[in-house]
Structure 1
């Protein structure tokens, strides 16, 4: 194998570093012409390992006196814009210190249009971008020229998007790149891949998984993870914000140089930031970062972190992937982590060095979250990771890719099919499926072909497909993308300065004079102008914007661990006294759910009949199950009145008790009630809206104008109704059903739950509320009942036979 170029060897020596084994292996694999998947701990130098072959290719010792080659050499794909900018910062220093003639630039939705045009005319040697920006770049006629000399694609944090629709888009882009540059090498990087073979298959050209070498990184120092509990008090019964921890959290911020505080939602980021600032008597510099803030606000915070000017930063998943700020010495996770891989990823932001342990503190919001935090800590200590399963690629994404190909230039159907089938998510596509997709892109489908606006591509006499009109290319590039958030309003001051975005639904509830808190500022509404929410500074605090979207699901891996902890009484000794007493009282009053079984408790409460199903299958699955069960309860005459769900349990209340839950949980509920429910609910309409936007059927943007969320919903609802009546087998109806069955309802977990219920259903009837039921029951009426009133009653009822001195710390 070729030796490490002296320029790189001398640079490592000047830093007092050594080339790690996995970094040398990545260079060896590249020199041999192979693909590679690198799985290495955070701080192991993964990004440098991925770029090492690129740096080596531009070393004078390897160029042999020739000048640096022109054109695009390496693509770096990241899931986050912030990560791309961070990588650029960290690459420029070694490039300059080695004296390499190597130009590095970023390209994303934030990149000015003039720079994007220049990059197409004169590409840099290394381009740092996202899957969406890559797909758009491939849609230009210059794409064959831009990418023909491409040597490497480096996909960072590959676990973050390979299993979703962004991964579908990227897989199709990789297939197109491989066709344009047959010698292209593919590289994937991750610290938290659970199933290496699955990611190797996704990364490789179809059928060539053996060409992807698995490179495992050197083992780093084990992380140091603690769980915070209330000082001198009890772990709360309910709630997810963990607001009780703010005084202790401020003590941690004071005691450390830089603390990164992760939350699971944008709402919680704003909420925790507000609480910290109110408690920040010393006015320590604390920032906030999430995806709905303006580009300027995010860049300002990122720059402050890079300079070491902040003592703490409250953030969401916008910063949990690979961003390297070496001075962070503590990570705090507010609320449950929902998965060991996600936790490991976030922990790795602290002490971003392989030989030093990362320090983290988990702050559970309630008692179940304490158990989940313990389970996640155990998984991290044992090195066990979790992750989402792979699934077939979406037809809506395929339609978007077909349109991008047409924008680049005419294509033959047979060649495109071979290209599509060369990537793992779409290896299942045959000529019939592609023909359906092409017909949709060309006409909108049978029921819509009479409308000219749906005609985007046409077939020429020589059998090629091309754009129906040149203007279709501009329309595609204006609307293409995979992430379909709820429609947003720009939050602006009167002078035009943007602070970020709030959802249109939230903005519609505001009137002039109303106040709200956003981006760490108290704002007063002046009015709405088009799709801008005009604000000014306010003197009083107001409500915090809420954001829609699915919640982070509790992974199956952590769910199984939590259930095992409940059954292992010998392990309860490490729990706080109140948590241990809670479980002991539950075991005495009723029973604890054992691994593999489904426990259902039934009891009267306030003149109603209650049943609690302990599923441990996550909020999304439990929410769907609640809708299905109440429909069946209605048919059986039980008079269901409502339900509430959390990650661990589903509580249903009704006029008449459930004597036998088995008929409510028979597997045929998915074949009958599920189909009927989905068709009659907003679920399928919402799924259809998303696939209609992704596929390009409905456009959100027009030159100089953006549709409101209401306009998009109105358009998609009209089309949905037409297709359901006249073309129920339309390709987008099929795509919407696929979304409804998987991502939006956790159908796979529901099916497993129902199968388990048929074999190991345990029904316990008790006289009153049980301790284990309190965390889910305190959620009832949370928005309309003052905190504490209903909770006190529930806790007193749960305690009434045991005499435990428990406080409802909610």
Structure 2
């Protein structure tokens, strides 16, 4: 069958659906059938799934002319999804193609939600088309005879590649692809990405730099006109001193008409805690919406999430309050409107969420931006510009993740074993390990066989043996079993399952939250008020409660930071407050009275100015700096500056920071002129001072816990018998101290510091922001009291610190009233 005949099959199918294939879809079909690899860049809701399922099926038809009567079973394509929630939608799309084209191809899903029975069936007979996650793919590579499973595989598609790039799960994919390329010579490698800035680099990471796959690849960009309309919800009354989170729920009544006037609305929050709060408050104020509103986030059980997704499709829900669990490619045709609650902190995330509305080619996406405090309206204005300019962030890939590589090597060793020279050649062609030296490779091999230099006396760290023919293999069943339980690179707090006393499963929650509860305490989770009874094993036993509570379940690591692109856009919008009103956005115009008050007390900085404010309250001396670079950079910069100031004269600070600036609070004033004169914002000795200022060793020690778990040095426990996080921390801490004292050249020990500076503290971005400040005029304003810009920062700290028995909301209202007095 010729390619033209194959294209006609696809186009006929589209005609039957009353659709017309886009140019990018046809280009993808052509490139795939020509045997090329590639990266497809297309917006959410443009039909990118069909751009790749079709050529996969058409290629099968081409190779099997009698496909309608004869069918050769076996795995032919693997579709990788970063979220399990997406797998059902992807399966439905695949089956629609395979069934309508009258093939006998089967479609299967293998994720963490797949039952043991279904996995066993796959072990006997793999489906033709498999939808899976990076972790589940690694488990397949840990199966004996995995090469036979993949030898006839013609395609691997990595969906939502931008979500994996710049994460250790992305590194997992790089390694898996390097292996599959060697097993299947006919393998075509494709990535799909909706929103990403560094597209060329993304393709290099996916295919491997300087590889034949990269040479024989294409970049296909969809020129699909997607209209995105951003509507800011500007409060009718806005206080001059808007505190953090205060405006959020105040605007609840502005959201209700949006919900009622749309078939279905998604309300996106940035954290699971915020999701729980909004769901509860909407129902409290509007009980008539009970049964028409639901909640969706990653800690709610699968059955509930699946029910919510189906209810959206059926148009039986008016609204869903959700988190990033609904960010990506799930196909929700009926969704008309999206509401973003609070700044999304990144352009790509905002565009992704906007794309959930009008999730069809050619349909307009409508997204409302609802600020949680007034200053976030500057973010809203910046996002308006970003949408028009189609500005999106880069995703920075990992380099030399030794923990992921050690895990991968162990994975290969527990299946069929591996020969070092063969795997070294494959691994060194990946982006992450392109600088891997023979010495480093030998160190990794020695580590797995002998347990590294300082651990050679302990048999538990000797995992691999070398067989007579030079193959590296795991022959210990216990090592193999523990490794399979621990495959994966997402490390967080220990999760406990939440169940009713009589056994009904509700979801999962992190240990750190539950550890603070006493028997009888009531908390909100999954939209229900639950009374805590006990922890038994790894289960939290609860019962429903009618008591009201302000205790909302919360999760660690839930705070987002402004991206570099978003920070720059934010500063540009801030500077626009000096423009003529006709050249300002409506959001900036709505903040005119706040800017006026800010200028009365201090200044609104211009592009060539860097603002420092100081004032005194009963809490002490406040010193506030405004880089507008995001909370992670501000945490590092605040610690660095505090350390350098303490070298001039002994002083103790407490540090607070948000996305706009940071505060150094002390019991005595700083000589700010001395700070300016001594050039404390210099990048000279930056790394050395940063290490001293932040107690980088302690931060690296905590980072090492994750590295020790991923690399397999520390075992997290068996199902329902997980080891507590404090024990994992102490176990990894002992190893960290051994390496620090006796083996500082240990690659994993060094990796802990590298990741601390590059990923947690964003040292590169910190350096660039300090270089920018060095070119600006430092303006120091000695204020009489808190300014509108400083108020969210101070109240954010008060909401987290329990400085008095007075309710913090009442205290902040009183502070605002005092500040407004002339």
Question: Where on the TM-score scale, by shorter chain, does this alignment land: which range?
Answer: over 0.9
- 1:552 matches 2:587: no
Matched, 1:204 2:212: no
The answer on whether the counterparts of 2:380 and 2:587 sit within 8 Å (CA) in structure 1 is no
Matches within 5 A, 1:351-750: 351-542=358-549, 543-549=551-557, 551-568=559-576, 569-570=578-579, 571-572=583-584, 574-575=586-587, 579-595=591-607, 598-606=610-618, 608-637=620-649, 639-654=651-666, 655-659=668-672, 660-662=674-676, 663=678, 664-668=680-684, 670-679=686-695, 682-702=698-718, 705-750=721-766
**1:703–1:443 Cα change, 3 Å:** farther
Shift of 1:288: 1.0
Residue 575 of structure 2 contacts residue 605 of structure 2 at CA under 8 Å; is this kept in 1? yes
Q: 1:211 to 1:800 in 2, by over 3 A?
A: farther
The answer to whether the Cα contact below 8 Å between 1:42 and 1:191 also exists between their aligned partners in 2 is yes
Question: Higher mean Cα deviation, 704-713 or 63-72?
Answer: 63-72
1:762 Cα shift?
A: 0.6
Structure 1 segment 296-311 matched on structure 2, within 5 A: 296-311=303-318
CA RMSD, Structure 1 to Structure 2 (Å):
2.2
Q: Distance in 1 between matches of 2:140 and 2:62?
A: 30
- Provide the secondary structure at the position in 1 that maps to 2:541: strand
- Please say which of residues 742-751 and 776-785 is displaced more in the overlay: 776-785
Question: Structure 1 residue 485: deviation in Å?
Answer: 1.4
Task: Show the counterpart of 2:236.
Answer: 231
Gaps of 5+ in 1: 802-810
1:219 is aligned to 224
Deviates more, 1:483-492 or 1:720-729: 720-729
The match for 2:49 is 47
1:100, CA displacement in angstroms? 2.2
1:10 paired with 2:12, answer yes
Taking the TM superposition and a 5 Å limit, the aligned residue runs for 1:744-763 are 744-763=760-779
TM-score by length of structure 2 reads: 0.93
Mapping for residues 205-354 of structure 1, pairs under 5 Å: 205-208=208-211, 209-234=214-239, 237-240=242-245, 242-282=248-288, 283-354=290-361
The 5 A counterparts of 1:791-806 are 791-792=812-813, 795=816
CA deviations 1:654-683 (Å, max 9, x no partner) are 212242334443324633332234556642
1:219 aligned counterpart, secondary structure: coil
Structure 1 position 777 matched with structure 2 position 783: no
- Give the match's secondary structure for 2:775: helix
Tell me the residue number matched to 1:169. Answer: 172
Distance (Å, rounded) in 1 between the aligned partners of 2:79 and 2:585: 48
CA–CA separation in structure 2 for the residues paired with 1:238 and 1:388: 32
Question: CA–CA distance in 2 between the matches of 1:671 and 1:380?
Answer: 36
Distance 2:707 2:585 in 1: 50
Deviates more, 1:516-525 or 1:452-461: 452-461
Q: Does 1:89 align with 2:103?
A: no
Q: Are the structure 2 counterparts of residues 770 and 728 from structure 1 closer, same or farther at C-alpha, using a change threshold of 3 Å?
A: same
Say whether residues 1:766 and 2:801 are aligned partners.
no
Q: Counterpart in 2 of 1:786? A: 807
> Does the 8 Å CA contact 2:716/2:722 hold for their aligned counterparts?
yes
Cα distance between partner residues in 2 of 1:607 and 1:107? 56
Q: Distance in 2 between matches of 1:744 and 1:405?
A: 30
Q: Deviations over 1:474-526 (max 9, x none)?
A: 21111111111111221111222221111111111111111001011110011
Deviations 1:428-462 (A, max 9, x none): 11211111222222233122221111111122333
In structure 1, how many angstroms separate the alpha carbons of the residues matched to 2:452 and 2:694? 23
Q: How many residues in Structure 1 have an aligned counterpart in Structure 2? A: 801
What residue ranges of structure 2 are gaps of 5+ in the alignment?
none
Change (3 A) 1:428 1:417: same
> 3-state SS of the aligned residue for 2:761?
coil
Structure 1 residue 720: Cα displacement: 1.9
Q: What is residue 806 of structure 1 aligned with on the other side?
A: none
Q: Which string of whole-angstrom CA distances, capped at 9 and with x for unpartnered residues, describes residues 236-269 of structure 1? A: 7122471122112122111111111111111111
Matched residues in 2 for 1:122 and 1:400: separation?
27
CA distance in 1, matches of 2:159, 2:165: 11
Give the conservation status (yes or no) of the 8 Å contact 2:608–2:777. Answer: no
State the partner residue of 1:76.
79
